[in-house]
Amino acid sequence: MNRTGSALPLALLLVLIISLLAGSAFVLLGSERRVADQQEGQVDAYAIARSAYDRFLANPVQYLPAFAPPAWTGPDSARIDMANGHAWVMVQRLRAPMGSDPAMYVVRSRGVRGRRMAPTLPFAERIFAQYAQWQPGSLSAPALWTSLSGMHKNGGSGTISGVDACGMSAPVAGVAVPDVPGYVQGGGASVPDGAPPILALGTAAQAAAAVPVDWDAIVNGGALSPDVTIPGGAWPAFPAGAWPLIYVNQASEFSLPGDGRGLLVVRNGLSITGGHRWDGIILAGGAVNTNGSVRVQGAIISGLNVTLGISVGPSDIVNGPSVLVYDGCAVANAAARFAGLAPLRNAGTDNWPSY
């Protein structure tokens, strides 16, 4: 058979086939590249959305000044700029408080990556959303006065009561102390009153576990952001409606200089004399000693340095008409700065629809 001249058509056919294969490979590669770019964009957008969500929950009022749950209903939104994009965070109340059930909110964060991987691709977006409850600030104190180092009372005068002065909650114990050294009173009828009047917390370790305060994080980890730090700052004037956080970081015993209210955190010991009054919460690393016609309305936790392995002597309540009463309203006002949105477990999604 004569096959003269067939080489050129065959070569052209092979070139065509190879060109088609190469073109298909380029098309496939481009498609895979676009898919990979889109996936990368979605991952970046999710990271932006989640980061903005976490920032918002840490301090909602910073981004929405009008945000004031539980009465606040919304919806309202705020833009939070990130290094490689931005996010719009929207919050809306779904349910008002009902009895003991707190207000329910939904927080949505729409992350947008600030650059396109290709001119033909849209900006990558992803929405993260989670249901959350409004958790009021609180301190679950086991007693009006909880002392991890024990307590000594001179005489039977004065008042130590765990009955809520504002009727906000059920009575708590008047005094809560570890079994050793416990509560010791020299003379007179037993003063503490509450449910029970004196609560035995067990061993030193059990007593420390019963106190809802991470003292190490406060004094060594910077867990608090005080309004006033002493030494350095001046004793505040306490304007109407103000419940400041005051941190006293001195080695010697601190003597309360005047009346006040809020959250008083004392690194070591505290002395209250001269008829001064404090409304709110007192947290002290050392002993708290009262003398005279002083008044504390709120809750006291002393001897917290015991949790750091530091020896602390028992708190003293000396002779005198001291009035020490639990007040749930004062405790709530002092702890209000720690209120916030508490995310519900297993109630988040990263594919919330948008329109």
pLDDT digits (tens, 9 = 90+) for 313-339: 888 888 778 899 999 999 989 998 888
Residue 41 binned pLDDT confidence (cut-offs 50, 70, 90): confident
The dihedral formed by the CA atoms of 272, 274, 280 and 282, expressed in degrees to the nearest 10: -10
pLDDT at 270: 95
| Residue 164 structure tokens | 């809520």
Mean pLDDT of 340-346: 88
pLDDT given for residue 280 in this prediction: 95
24 confidence band (pLDDT: 50, 70, 90): low
Quick: pLDDT tens for 230-248.
Answer: 999 899 999 888 999 999 9
Q: Is the pLDDT of residue 255 over 90?
A: yes
- Cα–Cα distance list, 297 to 99, 194, 250, 332, 341 (Å): 26, 14, 24, 12, 28
pLDDT category, 27, cuts 50, 70, 90?
A: low
> What average pLDDT does the segment 38-67 reach?
86
Distance CA 254, CA 271 (A): 6
Q: Is the pLDDT of residue 30 over 60?
A: no
Confidence of residue 12 (pLDDT cuts 50, 70, 90): confident
- Find the farthest-apart pair of alpha carbons in the chain and give their distance in angstroms, rounded: 133
pLDDT at 17 over 80: no
354: confidence class by pLDDT, cuts 50, 70, 90: low
Host H or E run for residue 128: strand 125-135
pLDDT digits (tens, 9 = 90+) for 146-197: 999 999 999 888 999 999 999 888 999 999 999 999 999 998 899 999 999 9
pLDDT of residue 274: 84
Tens-place pLDDT, residues 69-122: 888 898 999 999 988 899 999 999 999 988 778 899 999 999 998 776 556 666
pLDDT tops 90 at residue 23:
no
Torsion of CA 325, 329, 333, 337, to 10 degrees: 110
Cα–Cα nearest to 254, from 217, 222, 286: 286
β-pairing, 277-284 vs 260-266, is parallel
Burial (CB count <10 Å: 0-12, 13-18, 19+), residue 12: exposed
0.75 exceeded by pTM:
no
pLDDT at 275: 87
The pLDDT > 70 percentage for the chain reads 90
Q: Give the N- to C-terminal CA distance of the chain in Å, as an integer.
A: 71
The span from the CA of 314 to the CA of 27, in Å, is 80
- Cα distances from 65 to residues 72, 102, 114, in angstroms, run 11, 21, 26
Q: How far apart are CA 180 and CA 163, in angstroms?
A: 25
Looking at residue 307, the DSSP 8-state letter turns out to be: G
User: How far, in Å, CA of 290 to CA of 268, rounded?
Assistant: 15
- Structural contact between residues 238 and 228, judged by C-beta atoms closer than 8 angstroms: no
